[in-house]
Structure 1
Amino acid sequence: MPVESILNAKAITFTVRAVCEHDLDAIMRIQAECYPPSMQEPEEVVLSRIRTAADTSFVAIDGDVVSAYVFGYPSRLGAAAPLNSRFVVPANANTLYIHDLAVSRAGSGLARRLVARIVERATERGLANCALVSVQDSLAFWERFGFQTEPAPGPELRAALESYPGNALYMIRSLDA
Structure 2
Amino acid sequence: MHKFRLMTQADVAQVLDIQAQCYPARLLEDEATIRARLDSAPDSAWVAEHKNRPCAYLVGYRSVVGNITPLSSPFDIPAQTDSLYLHDLAVDKSAQGFGLGPQLVDMAWEKARAEGLKYSALVSVQDSLNFWKRLGYEVMEELCVNQTANLHSYGPASSYMVRLLG
Check whether TM > 0.5: yes
Q: After superposition, where does 1:22-171 map in structure 2 within 5 Å?
A: 22-108=10-96, 109=98, 110-171=100-161
> 1:169 Cα deviation (Å)?
0.5
CA RMSD across the alignment:
0.9
- How many residue pairs match? The answer is 164
SS in 2 for 1:85: coil
The gaps in structure 1 that reach 5 residues or longer are 1-12
CA deviations over 1:46-70 (Å, ceiling 9, x no partner)? 0011111110110001132100000
Relative to the length of structure 2, the TM-score reads 0.96
Letter matched to residue 116 of structure 1: D
Q: Which stretch of the first structure deviates more once superposed, 164-173 or 21-30?
A: 164-173
Letter matched to residue 38 of structure 1: R
Letter matched to residue 116 of structure 2: G
The whole-number CA distance in structure 2 between the counterparts of 1:156 and 1:122 is 26
**Sequence identity of aligned pairs in percent?**
38
The whole-number CA distance in structure 1 between the counterparts of 2:62 and 2:24 is 27
CA deviations over 1:53-89 (Å, ceiling 9, x no partner)? 1101100011321000000000011001110011121
SS in 2 for 1:83: coil
Letter matched to residue 145 of structure 2: P
The whole-number CA distance in structure 1 between the counterparts of 2:16 and 2:110 is 25
CA deviations over 1:119-149 (Å, ceiling 9, x no partner)? 1111111101000000001110000110000
> 1:166 Cα deviation (Å)?
3.1
The whole-number CA distance in structure 1 between the counterparts of 2:153 and 2:137 is 21
Runs of 4+ in 1 over 3 A off after TM superposition: none
